[in-house]
C-alpha cells in the first residue's frame, strides 16, 4: 500500500437475511477485516479511508428523512457490523491516526448486480422476473418505502469524499441517497413501465430485520461534500434494464484477499 493516498473500503459481506443466519460471518468480514485494513492504512501512511457504510444502521427509527444525528438502532447483525465498522473508521479519524469518512448508502442499484443470489437486492430480482415472465416476490404489503440510489451517484459521492478538505469532512458519517422514497408497489409499477409490460407479483410475509421506511437527508452530504444526485430513479432503472436485457453481460463478483478473510 506504499504511496497510496486514499483507500475506498467497499468490501463487505452484505445482506440482512444472511447475517441473521450467520452473524459471525458478518462480524468477521465487516468488523475484523475493517480493523485489519485500518491498521494497514496507518502503517502505510495512507491519508484517508472512505468507508462504505449502510442506511441499515438507522433501523426502524421513525424519523424521516434520516439525518446523521438520528440514533442508530440496527435491527440485524449486518446493520450492527456496518455500524461497528464505520465507528472504527471515525474513531481512527478523530484520534488523529488517519482521515476517515463513512458514507451511509441507501439502497444502491445499477448494472452488474446479480439477481440470482438468495440475498439479491430487490431491483435486479424484479427485473429478472420481468425478463423471465414470472411473478416477482414482494415481502410484506408493498407499502414499505426505500430511497433507491443509482450507482453512479454513489461513485460521485465517493470521489467527493476522497477530495473534500479534511477538517470539514473527516470524522463524520454522511448519507448517500437520492433524497426521495418509493414504495415497493410503486417500484414494481416503474419496472413494468421501463420493461414495457406489466410485472405480476405475489406477496410473501415480511422478512425479519427489514426496515419499514427509509429516506435520506442529504443536507450534510451537500454541505460538506457538495454531493447532489445526478441520476434519477427512473433514469437509473432504464440504464439497469438496458444492461440486464443484454444476456451477454456478466454480474459483479469479487473475493477479498486472504489476509482480510481471516477471523480474529
Residue 258 lies in a domain: no
Tell me the average pLDDT across 235-240: 97
Q: How confident is the model at residue 16 (pLDDT cuts 50, 70, 90)?
A: confident
Highest mean pLDDT among 124-133, 202-211, 218-227: 218-227
Residue at 254 is within a domain: no
Annotated catalytic residue 150: no
pLDDT score at 254: 46
Give a yes or no: residue 202 inside a domain: yes
- Of 51, 58, 78, 227, which one is the catalytic site residue? 78
Residues 6+ apart with CB under 8 A from 264: 28, 32
> Domain total for the chain?
1
Give the range of the structural domain holding residue 85, as residue numbers without chain letter: 6-248
Strands 172-176 and 136-139: unpaired
Examine residue 260 and state whether it is found in any structural domain, yes or no.
Answer: no
State the pLDDT confidence band at 262, using cuts at 50, 70 and 90. very low
Distance set, CA 203 to CA 18, 84, 115, 143, 208 (Å): 21, 34, 18, 12, 15
Query: In this predicted structure, what is the pLDDT of residue 28?
Result: 96
Residue 250: per-residue pLDDT: 58
Per the model's pLDDT, the better-predicted residue between 252 and 88 turns out to be 88
Q: What is the mean pLDDT of residues 92-99?
A: 96
In a domain, 200, yes or no: yes
| DSSP string for residues in 47-63 | SEEEEEEEGGGGTT---
Residue 96 has pLDDT above 80, yes or no: yes
Beta bridge partners of 154: none
State the CATH number of the domain containing residue 60.
3.40.50.720
pLDDT tens across 135-193, in order? 999 999 999 999 999 999 999 999 999 999 878 889 999 999 999 999 999 999 999 99
What is the pTM (predicted TM-score) of this model? 0.90
Cα–Cα distance measured from residue 135 to residue 128, given in angstroms and rounded to the nearest whole number: 10
Please state, for a pLDDT cut of 90, what percent of the chain lies above it: 80
In this structure, is residue 120 part of a structural domain?
Answer: yes
- The pLDDT value recorded for residue 263 is 32
Is residue 86 over pLDDT 90? yes
Mean pLDDT of the chain, nearest integer: 91
Is 38 among the domain residues?
yes
- Does residue 127 surpass a pLDDT of 90? yes
Amino acid at each position: 500500500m506504499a504511496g497510496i493516498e486514499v483507500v475506498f473500503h467497499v468490501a463487505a459481506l452484505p445482506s440482512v437475511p444472511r447475517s441473521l443466519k450467520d452473524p459471525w460471518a458478518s462480524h468477521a468480514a465487516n468488523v475484523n477485516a475493517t480493523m485489519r485494513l485500518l491498521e494497514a492504512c496507518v502503517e502505510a501512511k495512507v491519508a484517508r479511508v472512505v468507508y462504505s457504510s449502510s442506511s441499515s444502521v438507522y433501523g426502524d427509527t421513525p424519523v424521516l428523512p434520516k439525518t446523521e444525528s438520528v440514533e442508530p438502532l440496527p435491527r440485524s447483525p449486518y446493520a450492527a457490523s456496518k455500524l461497528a465498522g464505520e465507528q472504527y473508521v471515525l474513531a481512527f479519524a478523530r484520534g488523529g491516526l488517519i482521515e476517515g469518512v463513512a458514507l451511509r448508502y441507501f439502497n444502491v442499484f445499477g448494472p452488474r448486480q446479480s439477481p440470482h443470489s438468495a440475498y439479491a437486492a430487490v431491483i435486479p430480482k424484479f427485473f429478472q422476473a420481468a425478463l423471465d415472465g414470472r411473478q416477482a416476490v414482494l415481502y410484506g404489503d408493498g407499502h414499505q418505502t426505500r430511497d433507491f440510489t443509482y450507482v453512479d451517484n454513489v461513485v460521485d459521492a465517493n470521489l467527493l469524499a476522497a477530495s473534500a478538505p479534511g477538517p470539514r469532512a473527516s470524522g463524520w458519517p454522511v448519507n448517500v441517497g437520492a433524497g426521495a422514497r418509493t414504495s415497493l408497489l410503486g417500484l414494481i409499477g416503474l419496472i413494468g413501465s421501463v420493461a414495457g409490460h406489466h410485472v405480476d407479483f405475489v406477496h410473501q410475509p415480511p422478512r425479519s430485520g427489514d426496515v419499514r421506511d427509509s429516506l435520506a437527508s442529504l443536507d450534510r452530504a451537500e454541505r460538506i461534500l457538495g454531493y447532489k444526485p445526478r441520476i434519477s430513479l427512473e433514469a437509473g432503472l432504464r440504464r439497469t434494464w438496458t444492461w440486464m436485457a443484454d444476456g451477454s453481460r456478466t454480474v459483479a463478483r469479487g473475493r477479498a484477499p486472504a489476509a482480510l478473510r481471516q477471523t480474529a
